[in-house]
Amino acid sequence: MRRLVDRFTGTVLAPYQAAVVRIGFGGLFALFLVREWPNRLALYGDRSPWGLDLVRRQATLDHLFTLLVWSGSRFWFELVYTAAVAAAVLLALGWHTRAVSVLFLVGVLSVQNRSLYTGDGGDNVVHLMAIYLVFARCGRVWSLDARRRRAALRRDPETADAPGGTAVGLWAGCGLALAAAQLSGFGARTPGAWAVVLWALWAVHGAWGILNRSARGRGSEARAVCDGIATMAHNCAMGVIAAQVCLVYATAGWYKIQGDKWQDGTAVYYVLHLDYFRPWPALDSLLAGSSFALLAIAYGSVAMQVAFPFTVFQRRLKNVLLPLMIAEHLGIAVVLGLPFFSATMIVADALFLPTAWLRRLGAAFGRATARRRAPAPAARPAEALTLKG
């Protein structure tokens, strides 16, 4: 019990898994926004049939958060959309992760809530993860933050955690933007609770920066307490993320069990004949011809989804289960024409991969990038090591 408490308060658990969530969902959202770039105005801008009048009415009725209701001007739209892309890329890179994770959340909610009726399951997953990531210390490894910290540690371990000019500037900029939003009256179009949340996050970041600025602050008990709270919040967030993924699979699986078409194994036949999820009809006909294959796919997916929460915490079982689920989602991406949704689910699966696999993956990636940068691989072995974090 004592050991459990110590780990909960003192250890940032699952740092590699947190990095998977950050890089995965940040990167995917960036790719999504770039993919939809040609259609951005029709989906989220002034060419959308879900016009500004409709979304404003809906935002008031349902207390939605989106910066895109503040103004209908083209300039404002392009600014927010581009900023959302930038925040997603920076989050994936792990640049000032804690601050950028809040900006990423604002970007995700702004874009998605502008047109809720064009989203699907993939958007829903990203939406929730963006919220959870704000509470996670997700930049500990595989991030620019981690690289900067290592360099700072080599220079002077004493001041490694002191906030640099960029961090202070970012923080001040966010404060100014928040104040401007509130004073200009734009903020009035956003539910008041969000102002409280965003100001609170800003204050917490500020307090943490102040504590880390001076040697006295860094050695203080207040900093140790704050560090402990941040660690506990991270651990809670990772637990919630894992539980959320389990709830997704459990819901998808348990409800299928009640359906007679999943019971008799014909469900996949119907899915393959839905016009909206049918980019390759020839492929579907091939699959749909075999009653046996369809039955196996139907029973297999339901079994995996129902079993997910119960097997994913058992090391040996999950090492079999996860590759199977990832393979199934790769199949869905192609066969049903749902690449974005499938990719979000693959990231959700990858979150449960064992740390050893993830570290090996990271090391391989580090070697590959180091080789590309320095033609003579033996010349800079230290660089390869530091890259993997």
Which of the residues 269 through 328 are near other proteins (CB under 8 A)?
269-271, 273-276, 278-281, 288, 291, 294
Count of residues engaged in binding other proteins, rule: CB under 8 A: 85
Which segment (75-83, 259-267, 357-365, 381-389) binds other proteins by CB under 8 A?
A: 259-267
C-beta separation of 273 from 287 below 8 A: no
Contact status: 48 vs other proteins (CB under 8 A) = yes
Residues 227-256 interacting with other proteins (rule: CB under 8 A): 228-229, 232-233, 236-237, 239-240, 243-244, 247-248, 250-252, 255-256
> Of 334, 260, 322, 272, whose CA–CA distance to 297 is shortest?
272
Among 114, 127, 205, 329, binds other proteins (CB under 8 A): 127
Q: What share of the chain is helix, strand, coil (3-state, %, to 5)?
A: 80, 0, 20
Residue nearer to other proteins on the CB measure, 118 or 311: 118
Give the nearest distance from C-beta 376 to other proteins in angstroms.
38
Cβ neighbour number for residue 12 with a 10 Å cutoff: 18
Residue nearer to other proteins on the CB measure, 95 or 208: 208
Contact status: 124 vs other proteins (CB under 8 A) = yes
Residues 331-350 interacting with other proteins (rule: CB under 8 A): 334, 337, 339-340
CA distance linking residue 375 with residue 378, whole number of Å: 9
Residues 70-89 interacting with other proteins (rule: CB under 8 A): none
Give the nearest distance from C-beta 234 to other proteins in angstroms.
10
Cβ neighbour number for residue 265 with a 10 Å cutoff: 18
CA distance linking residue 123 with residue 376, whole number of Å: 43
- CA dist 91 to 173, 174, 232, Å? 17, 16, 21
CA distance linking residue 350 with residue 151, whole number of Å: 29
Among 27, 119, 175, 217, binds other proteins (CB under 8 A): 119
Which segment (46-54, 158-166, 198-206, 311-319) binds other proteins by CB under 8 A?
A: 46-54
> Of 115, 122, 142, 125, whose CA–CA distance to 59 is shortest?
115
CA distance linking residue 46 with residue 51, whole number of Å: 7
Contact status: 109 vs other proteins (CB under 8 A) = yes
